[in-house]
Amino acid sequence: MQDVFMNTYHRLPVTFSKGQGVCLEDVNGKKYLDFTSGIAVNCLGHNHPALVKAVSEQAARLIHTSNYFQSDVTIRFAEALIKMCAGAGLKKVFLANSGAEANEGACKIARKYSLVKYGPGRHTIVTLKGSFHGRTITTLAATGQDKFHETFGPFTEGFAYIPAGGIDALDQALDSKKVCALMMEPVQGESGIRPQSKEFMQAAAKLCAERDILLIMDEIQSGVGRTGTFLACEQYGAQPDIVTIAKGLAGGIPVGAVLGGEKTKDVFAVGDHGSTFGGNAVAAAAGLAVLAVLETPGFMKEVKEKGEYIMETIRSWNHPSVKEVRGMGMMIGVDIDGEAWPVLESVLSKGLLLLSAGPKTLRLLPPYIITKEEINEGLKILKSVLNQ
């Protein structure tokens, strides 16, 4: 069976056939607690009734129209999304299918904004070391990790990398004659769940605003309520010019979004950008269902509280194998003193699914609907494996 797939993924040895809530069931009927949410995608768990209803009813009504036309549900989804992001000053959206595609759109907006206003030569996009922005040639170039730059060159030119957290380096790098944008994750995901400091984020927003450099927040992993607010950047008081989101936005149906604020909302002209599937009616219906659940009073606050409960519980073990626990909301990284992969294999054999983020960091991204009992059950498995 493996022979049919290209060699892109290091997969754990399990094949699933069903899911319900926080549980996944493999083809042999064994059940697992899913603390991964399909890498921050199934934010409402598996087969959430509102999501299933929305997707099935939409599929029975209208699946796709192409962007030569509009579908009613896509308009409603875009309006609801803009409403959710109004606090971050975002005004218009372009709908895509994935995180990388959303980031490509963000880079295009930044380059065009600068070209039209300042002419050629001001096209550099500064990103942070340790960042992850996607797998296309341009988003790999944007990714500030050498290991992603070893093959597949030549890459898209015009990216520069600076250390996360260094305000002096940031000040120097943001040369307003050459730089059009700063792109960053409020919480670096793939490289170990590392929230930016408030000082760094606010300095970045201030410097960008002063120099008319666009601030792009890649919230593909941290957005859609994962950190306890719709966008993580809301908690930093840092005003972005562009935000990208994807992953959890339609609870498991592929979707991505580029959101623009006052400066960027009208940069694209007709013909500048497009995507055949972007804003597909089924994805839009799924997205509307997710947003409706997130808007339930107190829902996102609970995400934050559950995340804090998880972090506090692990810290309270004072376990010799646990070096550090960090995160925001239900985006949690646990540094351990050994390799993460054997822990993923061991917890799997005991019915728990975890991810890694780097060689020695366990990554926990549980679905928002997880109960305290399910959290305790999963953490009991993790502790028993760390004790081995």
Ligand X SMILES: Cc1ncc(COP(=O)(O)O)c(C=O)c1O
Binding site for ligand X (CB under 6 A): 98-100, 103, 132-134, 185, 189-190, 218, 220-221, 246
- 3-state class of 133 per DSSP? coil
Let me know how many helices (H) and strands (E) the chain has, helices first. 11, 17
Report, in Å, the least distance between residue 218 CB and ligand X. 5
Nearer to ligand X, 189 or 228 (CB): 189
**In terms of CB distance, is 99 or 251 closer to ligand X?**
99
In angstroms, what is the minimal distance from the CB of 355 to ligand X?
Answer: 10
As measured in angstroms, the least distance from the Cβ of 187 to ligand X is: 9
For residues 13 and 349, what is the distance between their CA atoms, to the nearest angstrom? Answer: 9
| Structure tokens that stand for 82 in this block | 């803009």
- Non-local (6+) Cβ contacts of 350 within 8 A are 381, 384, 385
Closer CB to ligand X, 218 or 241, in the complex: 218
- Ramachandran assignment for 248, one of left (phi > 0), alpha (psi -120 to 50 degrees), beta (any other): alpha
Q: How many CA atoms lie within 13 Å of 329's alpha carbon, on the beta-carbon side?
A: 31
Closer residue to ligand X, CB minimum distance, 161 or 322:
161
Q: Phi and psi dihedrals of 90, rounded to 5? A: -90, 140
In angstroms and rounded to an integer, the radius of gyration of the C-alpha atoms of the chain is: 21
Rounded to 5°, angle at Cα 49 from 94 and 38: 60
Taking the least distance from each CB to ligand X, the nearer of 55 and 96 is 96
Residue 246 or 330: which CB sits closer to ligand X?
Answer: 246
Distance of alpha carbon 354 from alpha carbon 324, whole angstroms: 17
**Residue number, nearest CB to ligand X:** 99
- Nearest approach, Cβ of 75 to ligand X (angstroms)? 24
Minimum distance, C-beta of residue 339 to ligand X, in the bound complex (Å): 21
N-terminal to C-terminal alpha carbon distance within the chain: 33
Structure-derived torsion over alpha carbons of residues 185, 125, 93, 119, reported in degrees to the nearest 10 = 160
Closest CA to 110 of 258, 233, 322: 258
DSSP 3-43: GGS-S-----S--EEEEEBTEEEETTS-EEEESSHHHHT-T
Q: Minimum Å distance from CB 58 to ligand X?
A: 21
Type of residue at 106: A
CB-nearer residue toward ligand X: 132 or 379? 132
Q: Min. distance of Cβ 143 from ligand X in angstroms?
A: 8
For ligand X, the closer CB: 136 or 313: 136
Question: Whose Cβ is closer to ligand X: residue 357's or residue 375's?
Answer: 357
Least gap, CB of 177 to ligand X (angstroms): 28
CB of 247 to ligand X, least distance (A): 6
Q: Interhelix angle for 72-84 vs 281-294, to 10°?
A: 30
Q: How many other CB atoms are there within 10 angstroms of residue 176's CB atom?
A: 15
